[in-house]
Each structure stands twice: as C-alpha cells, then as structure tokens.
Structure 1
Amino acid sequence: MTLLEQIQKEHAAAFTHGGKFHADDVFSAALLLHFNPQLTIQRGNRVPEDFDGIVFDIGRGEYDHHQKDSRIRENQVPYAAFGLLWEALGTEILSPEMAARFDEKFVQPLDLNDNTGEKNELASMIGMFNPVWDDNSGSDAAFLEAVAVAGRILEHKWERFRADERAEQQFAALLAEHRKRIAAEKKAGTMDEKILILSEFFPCQKQLSATEIAFLIFPSNRGGYCVQPVRKENSFNYKYDFPETWLGLEKEALQEATGLSDVSFCHKGGFLLTAETLDDAVAACRISLAGMPKAPVLIHIGTDAIDADDALLRQMPGMEHAVILHKPLPEAPELNICGSYAVSSLEKAEWKIRLREYLSDLLKEKPEAVCVSGDLFAAYPVMHQLRKKHIPVLTVSEQNGKRLLIRIPSGS
C-alpha cells in the first residue's frame, strides 16, 4: 500500500510525538490532512505496539529523522519529517519541477531549522503556538490550532507556485509573440523592441532580465498604466533608469519634467511610473531609453585594493567598461583591551547604526558587486551586511600562485 493509499483509506490514522511541537511535525500533519481531512492524528511519547497507521517524526521509521543513519539531500541539507513526507507526496500536489522548487524554497529551510536550529521566522511563529511554561492544560489542542494555520499557509503557498508555473508558460508565448510583431513591423534594434506591453498583469519581471526587454507596461488596477524598468540579469540595478529628474514627482510637476500630459506618478526609488494613457506610458519608456545606459559600477573597499585587482574586476563578464570606485573600510571602533584580548567599546546598537550609514553610502552608487579586502575586524561586518542584502560580495584570494576573484555566497 502506498503512503497516499494509507492516508486516504477509511479510518486512517497517524502518530507523532507529544509534548512541545515544532514546525516540522506541525507542517507534516498539515500535509497529511490536505489529502484526508478526516485523518486522526494521535500524539504521544512512544508509538503503541499495535499501531498500524502512518508514523512520523518519531519511531525511527521511514518518516523520522532522529536515527543515526537519517537521510541527507545531495546539497547536504538533512531531511526532517516534513521533507521526507513531501518527497513522497509533493508530486501529488504540484508538477515535478514545482514540487522540487517548493522543496528548495519552503521545505528545506524548515528541515534545516529542525535539524540544526538555524533561525527561521516561520518556525519561530509556529513555536509560539505552544502553551506557556505555567499552562498545565496540555499541548494537543494548541498543536491542532497550529496545524490548522500551517494548512492554510500550505494551501496559499501551493497556489502561488501553481500561479508561477502558469505565468512562466504564458510568458514564453507572450515573448515569442512580441518578437514576431517586432520583426513583422521591421522594428528590430529600435526602442520598441525593448518595451513589452501586457494586456493584463502577470508576474514575469524575473524572466525578463535575461531578455532584450528593458521596460514592462501593464494595466494598473487603479486605472491607467504602470511602467516598470527591468533589472539586469543577476543584478539589483536596472537595464535603463527613468531620468533622475523624474524621481519622486507626480501630476503637474512630473508632466512638466517629462513633457507628457498624461503621466501621473514616478516613485522616488525609480521602480514605477504611472500614466493615464498607453501612449504616454510608451513615450516615457522611449525617453528613458534615449538616455545612455550607465556604465556598471564596482566598488573596491579596503586597504589592500591595488590596480592589479581592478584589472581582475574588469575581467568579469560585462564589466570591461565598469567604473571602479575605491572606498576605505569603515573606521573601526575603539577597543577595550585586557592583555591580549579586546572587545569593541561601542554598544551593538551604536555599531549597527554606524554600519547602516556606511552601507547606505555604498549602495547609493548602485554597485553591481563589492570587492572587500583588508583587516577582518573592519571588513567582516561590511561583508555580512552586504550578503544579507544579496549584494554580490567578492574577495581576492591567491590560489597556486594565481590571484583569483572569489564570490562569497549571499544570504543572512
């Protein structure tokens, strides 16, 4: 009997551990209940000898992960019960490609949290459903409350993944249609080739980064049209920007700055412009495309920055003509020294403020990447903050007598 058949049979039952619950057993239970809302879930400290239902997160069986030989994914993320159950059931809910993507984006972070304690905000929120220390009413009712919430989260997440899949399929057809129209109208190489107009919005900005499209136009749900610039591939910067003189303006002020009578708003961050008519939305794109795209910016910070390393930076793909800015590392705080041991004299909050201000100055330059070198005490906090913001961080390392640029993985 398959796992799905076990779940869906009449009077189906499952068993998991009692006491304090975690995101792992909560989401596992919610996944099982998706297939059979009538499934009975029992909790306890030991699996009854005569229990013949599904056992998860306890018992050292197929859907437990506490045993010594528990399974680990190829990418070294260990399975927890939720991951093991999703592996068996995921393709009953999503397509194989989307099930694998859901595992990577949603399941694996929870599995990692359960196995290693790595911080995860969703897992922390589920943990908040546990009774407080002096509540003696037991945890079973709280567990079921958490499972109900987890079930709603899963349903909404799955619908998002299905919608993403539909959008990806629609995008391929739409881009092909756009290219066919451009060819038929003999507009290849013109501004219009870089402007994609949607009859209705659907998410496609990420896919557009790898194409020739620089601006996306779609109907606004408030009336009129929205215009969004498209990011460069593997970058937070846009292929083309709206003119700086437009940013933060609206209505008459924006109309005067653009020379367009039907534009209404341009966000100060440069990621959105709105217009009452399609003609002016397209015209705003054409004006922006007429400006020269800015040369990419790379920032090299630290005391060890040398011209040879600048040459390495320019060898990166697309960076041949990059503007390289040299910046010093932030001033290190004074130290309280006791013999050979020292700690910062700054309070953590004050140091974070200082770093935030330093980082803000860096990011105003809109760098494609930041190369960091120099004293680790000064450099590490900067690298950490850049990684949290998913700004590519590089460092130079000598390997077998050759200087190499190495990208440090992003993330928190």
Structure 2
Amino acid sequence: MASTTEGNPQKRQKTAKLIGTHNGTFHCDEALAVFLLRQTPAYREADLIRTRDASKLAECDIVVDVGGEYDEQRSRFDHHQRGFTEVFGHGFETKLSSAGLIYKHFGREIISRRFQFPEDDPKVEHLWLKLYKEFIEAIDGVDNGVSQYPLDVTPKYRNRTDLSSQVGWLNPAWNESVDSVTVDERFAIASTLTGTTFLGRLDYYANAWLPARDIVRDGLDERSTIDPSGKIVLFTQFAPWKEHLHELEAEANIQEDEKPLYVLYPDETAGAWRIQAVSVTPDSFESRKALPEAWRGLRDEALSEATGVPGCIFIHASGFIGGNKTREGTLALARLALKL
C-alpha cells in the first residue's frame, strides 16, 4: 500500500482508509501493528502516513504508536502517554505496546479469517492466547523497556537476533544521509519482516501445535483403559504434549493425586517407544515421579536385566525419559515404576 510522510505528501483516493503512525526512527511494535491492521478487511487496502503532525493524524481512520491517546472507540492506539497501564489480561502483566494493543483488539479477527474458523471457535481463543504468549508479549516488553528478569542478573552473552533488534537494524545509521522516502521504504521492509514472521508462527501453531491438543485430550481421556491407575497416558503417535497436558488437566480440574505420572509414545525416528515422566510444570526439569534411581544410566541388556523387561534401550541418568523396543515394553516399565 502507499506510504507517505509529512515531507512527501501524496494524494490518496477518497475511498481508501488511512493508517497513521509516527515518522523518523521506527520500531518493531508499530511495524507489526501496521501489518496486522492490513490483515483485516477494514484496513487491507489502507494507505499509510508516517507523521507526528497532529492535524494530519486527526485525518487518519486509525492511529498507532503516536498521538498520546488510547481510545478503542476512536481507533487511537498509542501507549506512550502518562498513566497508560493497559495489559493483555488472561494472566499476562506486561504493558502493551502498539503491537499488543492492535493484536488485543484485532487478533481474534485476523486468526478467524486466516483459517476460516468462526470467531467464537475455541481454536481461535487458543491460538490468540498462544501467539501472545510466544510472540507478541516479547515485542511489548522490549518496546516498553520491561526487563525479562525480575532481578538484576548480568547475562552471559548479548542477544541481538530477536525480531525487535532485526527491525532496529533496518533504520538508517546515524552517519547515513537518508531522506524520508527512503526511511518509509525501510519501514515497509520492516513491516513485511515482522508480519511474515508473525504469520509463519501463527501457521505453525494452527497447523501443528493445535492439532496435537486433540491427540493429548484423547490420551488423557482414555488413560484408565491403558492402566486402571489412570497414571499412564499413551499416545499412538508422537505429538508435542507437555503444555497441552497441563492445560487440559487444569481445564478438567483433575486433582493432584489423580494426575498421570508417565507418558508413552512412539519414538519419532528409531521405530521404538519412549517412556517419559511428566514434569511438574511444562517448563520444569523436575518430574512428578522420575523413573527409578536404580535404572538410571543403564542401557540395553543391563537395563533389561535390572528391570526384568526385555527390549530395554536406555533410561536417562536423570530418570526423566527412557526407551524400549516395543509399546508393551514401555508399558511394563511404566507399571513397574509406579510401584517403586
């Protein structure tokens, strides 16, 4: 779409809507916010003006990251003004940038239209929350100067490969002589970069991460048919399961003493099977019940002799995972581990 700055005015068709953001140095948040708006029917064909001129911003149909105002009804989405404390909600506490503001208000619509889901479909809500957690919140945090760590920890290395840094490098260097048209062109590149990355992540979560939820739900629902204890979950195919399992347990209000301890699934490459202890949280290294200490670090025949289960392959030294050549073998290991 056409992009103009106050130094490069262009006439636009009266029927085209106009998005406004600030000129000068650009950042990841407004680059993504503009891209997200153009994923909606209302702003798909909108022109863009980059300016800080209040009179020109007043002519815009929607303004992001400039103007000192947050008012959904007036389509004003800035976050720099004194007293702005808006967060995403749903347990998230990071102050929103313009990316988070636009995503909060338009994200469900964008997801719904991309995958042709009804906007009230639970899949839309799952993806909307997942994308904020895994993608948008970091952009909000970086733009607002929110430390990722609550304590003053000195990092071991610097990371300048994040998306916000990539956008920052697209700005003209301090000793470059660049006119406003060139800066607008670079902003367009930045907006495409942020948007392409966003859509790639969204497509992965919709097409790979979300379908795994049904597999995990089925395994959780049918766990008592695998073992009467209900402590063993079996998946007939591998799928990313940790986050889904913990969320589905919470949704079903499964009590602590009824939660599964071990998950069994086919090895992705070896044609064998894996047994894995369920972690205390999705990101924790601590297991609810690690595999027995006497098995840890053993392999092959030595492990089969120690367990009395043929076909053993290994048990990790920490006891969080192991392998057997067959489904029956991993199930036997799980049942033994429950008793030890």
Q: Is this a same-fold pair by TM over 0.5?
A: yes
Name the residue aligned to 1:358. none
Aligned equivalent of 1:86, options 97, 100, 103: 103
State the AA in 2 paired with 1:157. R
When residues 176 and 45 of structure 1 are mapped into structure 2, their CA distance, relative to the original with a 3 A threshold, is same
Q: Quote the residue 1:391 is aligned against.
A: none
Could you say which structure has the larger radius of gyration?
Answer: 1
- Shift of residue 154 of structure 1? 1.5
Tell me the TM-score normalised to structure 2 length: 0.66
Partner of 2:39: 34
Match of 1:334 in 2: none
Deviation at 1:118, TM superposition (A): 3.3
Aligned-pair Cα RMSD in Å: 3.5
Q: CA deviation at 1:251?
A: 4.0
Secondary structure of 2:48's match? strand
Aligned to 2:3: none
Match of 1:155 in 2: 199
Picking from 168, 172, 176, the partner of 1:131 is 172
d(CA) in 1 for partners of 2:194, 2:213: 27
Aligned mate of 1:68, from 78, 82, 85: 82
The yes-or-no answer on 1:232 pairing with 2:272 is: no
Contact in 1 for aligned 2:272/2:325 (Cα 8 Å) = yes
Does residue 118 (structure 1) correspond to residue 147 (structure 2)? The answer is yes
Change (3 A) 1:30 1:255: farther
> Residue 62 of structure 2 aligns to which amino acid in structure 1?
I
Deviation at 1:11, TM superposition (A): 4.2
Structure 2 alignment gaps of length 5 or more? 1-13, 70-75, 113-123, 149-158, 250-255
Q: Is the contact made by 2:215 and 2:235 (CA closer than 8 Å) also made in structure 1?
A: no
Deviations 1:358-403 (A, max 9, x none): xxxxxxxxxxxxxxxxxxxxxxxxxxxxxxxxxxxxxxxxxxxxxx
For 1:136 and 1:250, locate their aligned partners in 2 and report how far apart those are by CA, in whole Å. Answer: 65
Q: Deviations over 1:334-379 (max 9, x none)?
A: xxxxxxxxxxxxxxxxxxxxxxxxxxxxxxxxxxxxxxxxxxxxxx
* Code of the aligned partner of 1:26: A
1:301 paired residue number:
none
> Which residue of 188, 191, 212 corresponds with 2:228?
188
Q: 1:44 aligned to 43, 46, 51, which one?
A: 51
The 1:212–1:11 alpha-carbon spacing in structure 2 relative to 1, beyond 3 Å, is same
> In the TM superposition, what is the alpha-carbon distance from 1:157 to its structure 2 partner?
3.1
1:240-292 alpha-carbon deviations (Å, 9 max, x no partner):
2223354344445544554444232333343322222112121222332231x
Q: 1:200 is paired with a residue of what secondary structure?
A: coil
2:64 to 46, 56, 70: 56
TM-score scaled to structure 1, two decimals?
0.56
Higher relative contact order (CA 8 A, sep 6+): 2
Counterpart among 271, 289, 303 of residue 320 in structure 2: 271
Q: Structure 2: how far apart are the matches of 1:156 and 1:89?
A: 18
Aligned residues: 275
Aligned to 1:403: none
In structure 2, how many angstroms separate the alpha carbons of the residues matched to 1:176 and 1:152? 37
1:6 match: none
Q: Report the AA paired with residue 172 of structure 1.
A: R
Where does structure 1 lack aligned partners over 5 or more consecutive residues?
1-8, 292-412
Map 1:11-410 onto structure 2 (within 5 A).
Answer: 11-35=16-40, 39-46=46-53, 48=56, 51-61=59-69, 62-70=76-84, 72-73=86-87, 77-92=94-109, 93=111, 95-96=124-125, 98-100=127-129, 102-103=131-132, 106-116=135-145, 118=147, 121-137=162-178, 138-162=182-206, 164-179=209-224, 181=225, 188-189=228-229, 193-206=230-243, 207=245, 211-222=258-269, 223-232=271-280, 236-291=285-340
Q: Note if contact 1:34-1:151 (Cα within 8 Å) is conserved in structure 2.
A: no
Identity of aligned residues (%): 27
Deviation at 1:27, TM superposition (A): 1.9
In 2, distance between residues paired with 1:262 and 1:56?
A: 61
